[in-house]
Copies of this chain bind each other. A is one copy, B any other.
């Protein structure tokens, strides 16, 4: 698997990102529904779903469309890898994805809600992402009859999304806090402020590579700006704690941290079998080593490697080797 093949699993906006510590990406997601259609989970027929897709497509002519019923399995998985669609969208009989050119702006049609607008970026830029998502929202609002209640706000399929319909989230790499077993305390603290911390693929998903998604739990009774401002503060606080604990590791556990980083590099370069959990942790160690200045690896991109190590599952498989064998090979080739 070469770099161009890995690029098939990455959106344009994800590429050539500067390697900075902690923040990996941000996302704003707005859930919207249409008044004159039943909820996607209640569609009586595929046609009901296609009617929604057509209406949304007409409202956003500048975006390209991919209808999932016309795609092969491989192509759908690529969209999941890019975080453009959820695995749930694949299960829907009539669903689609609209996206702009670099895929930083997209709209899922007929997931749990009729419309889910997504704006993604590779730094902590929630306000500007919200503005971009709002532009799409405004266009849809002009063209379509969006479900909105004067008291409650936007109406959604799941009550946890009612109100702003907004989920703001930031993906952060927290090796220091993870190694020092601080994540439980942090999860407890931020939940008191209405935020939640989860794995890479959202709710209930496993944590890989010490990467966490921090997002708002509450969508009701607060303005979008206020939610974003609070999340920014929470994330900034976590960034500070992470950087502090890295300083401590570097100062008081220097040999152990150096050893941890270099061992993981050696194992990535030499192992012949590697499961996904170990791969993610070894990559996390190497990224920590780069951030701490222990290592310089010109071509190492943490987000690319995290995607590369997931690709064995996505390969057309005429290969009779195990997934862990293929993963080890991909990692060896990419880390050298």
A251-273 residues with Cβ-Cβ distance < 8 A to B are 255-256, 258-259, 262-263, 265-273
A71-85 residues with Cβ-Cβ distance < 8 A to B are none
Question: CB distance A265 to B270 under 8 Å?
Answer: yes
- Give the complex CA separation of A256 and B271 in angstroms: 10
Q: Which residues does chain B contribute within 8 Å of A258, judged by CB atoms?
A: 272
**CB contact between A263 and one of B262, B267, B322 (< 8 Å): that residue:** B267
A200 at the interface (CB under 8 A from B): no
A328 at the interface (CB under 8 A from B): yes
| Assembly stoichiometry (copies) | 2
Question: CB distance B255 to A325 under 8 Å?
Answer: yes
Q: Which residues does chain B contribute within 8 Å of A262, judged by CB atoms?
A: 270-272
- Give the complex CA separation of A111 and B325 in angstroms: 54
- Give the complex CA separation of A269 and B268 in angstroms: 12
Majority SS of interface residues in chain A?
helix
Q: How far is the CB of A263 from chain B (nearest CB, A)?
A: 5
Most interface-central of A267, A268, A270, A325 (chain B CB within 10 A): A270
- Give the complex CA separation of A149 and B93 in angstroms: 97
- Give the complex CA separation of A258 and B328 in angstroms: 12
Q: Which residues does chain B contribute within 8 Å of A328, judged by CB atoms?
A: 259
Interface size on A, residues (CB 8 A): 18
A235-265 residues with Cβ-Cβ distance < 8 A to B are 255-256, 258-259, 262-263, 265
Most interface-central of A256, A266, A269, A273 (chain B CB within 10 A): A266
- Give the complex CA separation of A270 and B335 in angstroms: 14
A40-95 residues with Cβ-Cβ distance < 8 A to B are none
- Give the complex CA separation of A273 and B255 in angstroms: 7
Q: Which residues does chain B contribute within 8 Å of A267, judged by CB atoms?
A: 263, 266-267, 270
- Chain B residue nearest to A273 (CB atoms) is B259
- Give the complex CA separation of A256 and B256 in angstroms: 27
Question: CB distance B273 to A266 under 8 Å?
Answer: no
Question: CB distance B255 to A322 under 8 Å?
Answer: yes
A 280-304 binary contact with B (CB < 8 Å = 1; else 0): 0000000000000000000000000
Q: Which residues does chain B contribute within 8 Å of A270, judged by CB atoms?
A: 262-263, 265-267, 269
A 317-336 binary contact with B (CB < 8 Å = 1; else 0): 00000100100100000000
Question: CB distance A256 to B269 under 8 Å?
Answer: no
Q: What 3 pairs between A and B have smallest CB-CB spacing?
A: A266-B270, A266-B266, A259-B272
Beyond the given A263-B271, A267-B267, please list 13 additional residue pairs across the A-B interface where CB-CB is below 8 A.
Answer: A255-B272, A255-B273, A255-B322, A255-B325, A259-B272, A259-B273, A262-B270, A262-B272, A263-B270, A263-B272, A265-B270, A266-B266, A266-B271
Q: List 7 A-B contacts (CB under 8 A).
A: A255-B272, A258-B272, A259-B328, A262-B270, A266-B269, A266-B270, A267-B270
